[in-house]
Amino acid sequence: MTGGVLLFYVTYIILLLCSLLLTAACTWSGSTLIVYASYHGISGIFVSMAGAVLVLIGILQAVFIVLFLFSWHKTAVPYRTVVTEKEQPVLFDFIHKLVKQAKAPLPKKVYLVPDVNAVVFHSPGIMGLFGGADKNLVIGLGMVNSLNISEFKMVLAHEFGHFSQRSMKLVLHVYTINRIIYNILYENKSWRNAIIWLSNKGLLAALLSRLFVILAAGLHYLFRNMHALINRQYMRLSREMEFNADEVALSICGTDTAISAMRRAEMSNACFQQLLQSVTTWSRQQRFIRNIYEAHSMLIKYHAKQHSTPLDHQQLPQYNDDQFGTTVKSQVQFRDHWASHPTQEEREQRYQAANIPGVTIMQSAWTLFHDAERLQEQMSRQVYQVLTPEETPGHWEPAEDLIREIEAFHEQYTFPAPYNNYYDDRPFSDIPSGRLEPFSEEEQTLYTLSTLYAKEHRQQIRHYFRDVQDAATLQAIVCREIQVTQFTYGNVQYRSNEASRILDKLQQQISRDGEWLQEHDLLALRYHYTFALQTALEAATNLQEQYKRILSHQTRAGALNEIAAIIIESIPVFYSGNDTPPSKTDPRLQMLRQEAEQLQQLLQDLLFQHHISDQWEPDLQQKVTHFIQYQYPYLREHLPLPEELEAMHEISTAVSDHYNNSIVLMKKAFLYRCLDFSELSVAH
């Protein structure tokens, strides 16, 4: 890592020296020509002009290099608020004691931010790079809101574990280098503006500007590769630093505290992000919450209730291994060995292997903060200033109202509990044509509602759809759409040329699981069909037709999703700013017109299905009507403008979202109807 950092600085200095040498060479050569030309009368005028051009080139390239390398973009951190020992004496006393335990230096400054996070950073500046940089601590109040004192201590001890590492100095260098490279590649517009200005000053200046464009392309290539080289090494270093910081914190707080802190922080962050989305929507409706952390706590409790997670005395969720073991993650991972942060599973395995006992202080971490409620409200106002600066809080509404709305929305789309999430987040399976076969007497004794919708089936279904996604990823590796030299599958590392072999085995498993799912879905439907048939033939027929209607809606919704994907892929083809050859644009335009025609037909069909289109906002209904009547005929005759493509994509995605929500409600109504034709109805 040190070698990579030194390589960057040496390269940077060499570029500057080369520029200075070129400037000196051009200036000396040009001046020599001018002096020489002064002794040759009229014929020397052209030599003088050549000398002047050389001097000008030397000066211009120096200006260009300076503009290219030294323009700086200052990054704003809108949320960060400094807190002092006078304002928070208990918190700072807690920090003083903890840094002694961690054998780490005391942070120069302590900042508060609203989110679920805690980080350390060095004060930026040249003196900090090569001297003693100040170390600062950032505490997220969302983190405080979701941990007890012991867990909060674990999080801060991890950060102070970073303080005690000499490699933090390298991290500051890498951070500075990354900022420089990012500024050069993406944010620095001064050299571009200079080239544009130069290109408008005549033929010679235009030729010079082209040379500078070529030079800029070469420098961009150099810095992109330098960035990749440095960060590949940095990821390895960062991973080890995370493990070392964990060791420091674990020795202070113990295994159980470390595991619970990480689990609570992960779930708390998910709740906080969901809350911010709702808060943003509410604020645009002129509805504001005085204390978003009160709402955050309510949302955490609601999610704990949804997943049957018990709460402790401080009303914080107690996550066990079973609740975290239900998450199904992709088996295909890239750069897992080089990741800058270890996974949660890796960290938990290390915590458990260490098996260090610890003492748990159950009180909320808020007890370390003076006047916590005022602090929460102050940070809440800062969140509004950043999320919706154009809106000014006028009327405060109770946090309970927001949580009730979130709960109501969630419950609106939640399927009945007896199905044990069997149908969640997936389409219904196709069924054969013709009338369904009712259960035989033997099948009626074999299958019940609880056996058909057992909890283990849900996990098997999750694995099936996980495998389908993994197969698509492996196929992309085989086709070189994803270019990697190696990957991991099932925690085993493979080279990219082995992807096709793994894909073949995975597709066989997908085929078996897909057949099982289709057969089991049919079996479950036949179960309810049998009970409906015992009621009346008409009831059974209606149940089957209701299922088929849902399948038809699923097909249309899938077509809408594909149209939206094709439209968004078309925008860069037509309007990337490059000279795309007609051989590529013509087939894409033909495809786009076909998709537009299909979109028109789908929208017309949905518009006349009032149980669906009546749920659309008036603005969306107006856009759909306009597209059907005006925009689509225009697309058949003309090359679409970027804003027209964006409007078409907006319509297709908005209608698709509404349509998918409508299908979920159709499924929910169908599943409640199925419960009427089950052993539950017989029991009642």
Domain annotation for the chain: domains and CATH numbers: 2-74+186-222 (no CATH), 75-181+223-328+338-412 (no CATH), 413-535 (no CATH), 536-684 (1.20.120)
pTM > 0.75: yes or no: no
In whole angstroms, give the CA distance from residue 515 to residue 500.
22
Alpha carbon 326 to its chain's center? 22
* Cα→Cα distances 265→94, 291, 316, 512, 675, Å: 20, 20, 11, 38, 38
User: H/E element holding 122?
Assistant: strand 118-122
Alpha-carbon span 657 to 631, nearest angstrom: 21
Residue 471's pLDDT band, with cuts at 50, 70 and 90, is very high
Q: Which among 232, 194, 249 is positioned nearest to 66, based on CA atoms?
A: 194
Distances (CA, A) of 387 to 161, 211, 277, 283, 373: 33, 44, 10, 9, 21
Under 8 Å between Cβ of 678 and 449:
yes
**Among 595, 681, 676, which residue's Cα sits nearest to residue 635?**
595
Residue 415: its pLDDT value, please?
95
**What is the distance between the alpha carbons of residues 98 and 108, in angstroms, rounded to a whole number?**
15
pLDDT of amino acid 112: 94
Least reliable range by pLDDT among 91-100, 272-281, 645-654: 645-654
Does the structure show a pLDDT above 50 at 33?
yes
How does strand 135-140 pair with strand 492-495? unpaired
CB-based contact 317:310 (threshold 8 Å)? yes
Q: In the structure encoding, which two tokens stand for residue 157, read together?
A: 């001890």
- Mean pLDDT over residues 175-203, rounded? 74
Residues 6+ apart with CB under 8 A from 176: 124, 129
Task: State the chain's mean pLDDT as an integer.
Answer: 84
What is the average pLDDT across 26-31?
A: 86
3-class SS at 138? strand
pLDDT digits (tens, 9 = 90+) for 614-659: 888 888 888 888 888 876 666 666 676 767 777 778 888 889 999 9
CB 62 within 8 A of CB 23: yes
Mean pLDDT throughout 41-58?
76
Provide the 3-class DSSP secondary structure of residue 311. Answer: strand
From the list 574, 553, 561, 570, the residue with the least C-alpha distance to 652 is 561
Secondary structure of residue 494 in the 3-state scheme: strand
- Distance set, CA 647 to CA 83, 410, 634, 659 (Å): 47, 29, 13, 18
Contact in structure between 547 and 431 (CB atoms under 8 Å): yes
Q: What is the pLDDT at residue 583?
A: 45
Q: What are phi and psi of 111, to 5 degrees?
A: -115, 150
Amino acid at position 385, single letter: Q
Mean pLDDT of 365-388: 92
pLDDT digits (tens, 9 = 90+) for 555-589: 999 988 888 888 777 766 665 544 444 444 567 67
Q: Are 524 and 452 in contact (CB under 8 A)?
A: yes
Q: Is the pLDDT of residue 130 over 70?
A: no
On the question of pLDDT at 335 being above 60, the answer is no
Beta strand residue intervals within 218-331, DSSP E: 288-289
Contact 333, 466 (CB under 8 A): no
Strands 288-289 and 135-140, by their bridges, are unpaired
pLDDT in the model for residue 142: 94
